[in-house]
Structures are given as C-alpha cells and as structure tokens.
Amino acid sequence: MRVERRPVSEQESRRANGPDWDRYADEYQSTHGEFLGDAGFVWGPEGFTEAEAGVLGDVADRDVLEVGSGAGQCSRWVRSRGGRAYGLDLSFRQLQHSRRIDAETGVCVPSVLGTATALPFADDSFDVVFSSFGALQFVSEIDAAVSETARVLRPGGRYAFSITHPTRWMFPDDPGVEGLTASQSYWDRTPYVEVDDATGVVSYVEHHRTLGDWVSLLAGAGFMITELLEPEWPEGHERVWGGWSGVRGRLTPGTALFGARLLPT
C-alpha cells in the first residue's frame, strides 16, 4: 500500500471506502467497541460524550438520523433516551455489527445501507441529524452531503457532527512527538489516498476541509452555526487511537464538533 495526496471523485471515494470499512469493521469493533459502549455516545477519541456536550438538545420523542452510524452505538444512546434514532452507513459489515449489538442489548436501531450524499428519506423527515466521525470526511461531494442533510431536516432542526480537527491535517498522522511538527499546508485540500501497490486501485480516501470551508458550507446550505466545540484531552486519559494520543491531545485539538440549526426558509 502506498500513500498519496491526489484528487479523487465521489464515486472513487465511495468505491474505496465501502469495501475498506467492510474489511476493517471486525477489527474496529473489537478494538474500539468497549470504549464506544454498546449504547454509548462519544464524539471522538477524547471520550467527550453527548451527555457532556448537549449539542443535540433533548432527543426524547424526536426523529433522529445518524449518518455514518457504524454499529449504531450513538443511535442506541439516543433510543435509550426516548428518541426515534435511525442509522445509515456505507458498510454492510458495520451494519451487521449494528444488528449484532441490537440483539445483544435489546435496543434496536433500524438502519439502512446508503451514502451520505443521497439520503433515501423524504424531505422534512427528521428533527436531528448527526454524525460522530461518520461519513463526512470520507465524502468528496460534501456540498451534496450537507444539502441532503438540510433537505431531510425539518425547519429549525439540529445538525451536529464531529470530524478530525482540520488543523490536524498540517501534521503527520503520528500519535508521538513526530506528530507535533507541522509539515503540510493547512490549506491543501488535496485528499489523502491509499493505493493498493499490486493493483493500483484506490483502497482508502479521506477529504480535508478547513474551518472556514465548514462555515461556508453550513451557511450556504441554510444553517446557523450554534457551536464549535474543541474537546480537550482529559486528565488521566491515556488511550491511543490512531493519531490521537495524550502526547498530541494535551497540546493541539484532535476533534472538531460543530452544532447548527436549519433556518426556516
């Protein structure tokens, strides 16, 4: 496998990331499942929870969609608080894990296989749409993903999502001190791409947008931004998750959490 920075279309991103998440799902759930909690809601590797953040508001009796729902842990938390949460994910294997945890916990998250850029729901279907590190950084056509969210939300509805903090794109993805020296331009939006050496096929893609890009995207789709939270690394939290660690997290933000409301038209 080799790493490149180069433009990638929406189709190519999806063709790479769906199978990649299918391959990775078992390892992902066995490595991170306990930390996530079967019916837990963390916004990222810092362990910052929705109970602390409160960006979704009171979810009881609300129609809620999780985009990039994985094994549905966050949606199960919403259900356990009286919300009608539904999941959508690109990876069949991730959704199989969701079904497994539904059966184990007795808290079922009805979920569909799909993509963030073409939500299979009618207009004005939901009060809340959210993604916890789900979908958005894997999508090339981000305008479509944000406008699809606006379409399925009811006026006044809430949108919240966490992503890798955009400033992290300046640094090598290394949890140690090597990951603290800026070596890439923050403004370079060229996607991160992994290519299979043997076949030349793109096998994984991530897309970068700056903080300013996110403000423009949300405002352009009719949202008013209500929060931009940058969770601090908690005292005594020593878990390493990919490039996230205490070494870096005590100095630079690893996660950005946006909250927004859809303005009435």
Ligand X SMILES: C[S@@+](CC[C@H](N)C(=O)[O-])C[C@H]1O[C@@H](n2cnc3c(N)ncnc32)[C@H](O)[C@@H]1O
Residues that bind ligand X (CB under 6 A): 14, 17, 21, 36, 67-68, 70, 74, 89-91, 94, 115-116, 132-135, 138-139
Contacts of 58 (CB under 8 A, 6+ apart): none
What is the CB-side half-sphere exposure of residue 64 using CA atoms within 13 A?
A: 27
Query: 66 or 127: whose CB is closer to ligand X?
Result: 66
Tell which residue, 3, 145, 130, has the closest CA to residue 55. 130
Is 44 or 222 the residue whose CB approaches ligand X more closely?
44
Cβ nearer to ligand X, comparing 116 with 218 = 116
Our CB check for ligand X shows the closer of 11 and 181 to be: 11
Residue 59 or 74 with smaller CB distance to ligand X: 74
Closest approach of Cβ 193 to ligand X, in Å? Answer: 14
State which residue, 29 or 261, has the beta carbon closest to ligand X.
Answer: 29
67 half-sphere exposure, CB direction, 13 A CA radius: 29
Q: Which residue has the tokens 């893609």?
A: 205
d(CA 144, CA 147): 5
Helix 211-220, helix 142-152: angle, nearest 10? 40
Strand 192-195 versus strand 2-5 pairing type: antiparallel
Q: How far apart are CA 132 and CA 144, in angstroms?
A: 18
Give me the residue whose beta carbon is nearest to ligand X.
Answer: 70
CA pair distance 198, 196, nearest whole angstrom: 6
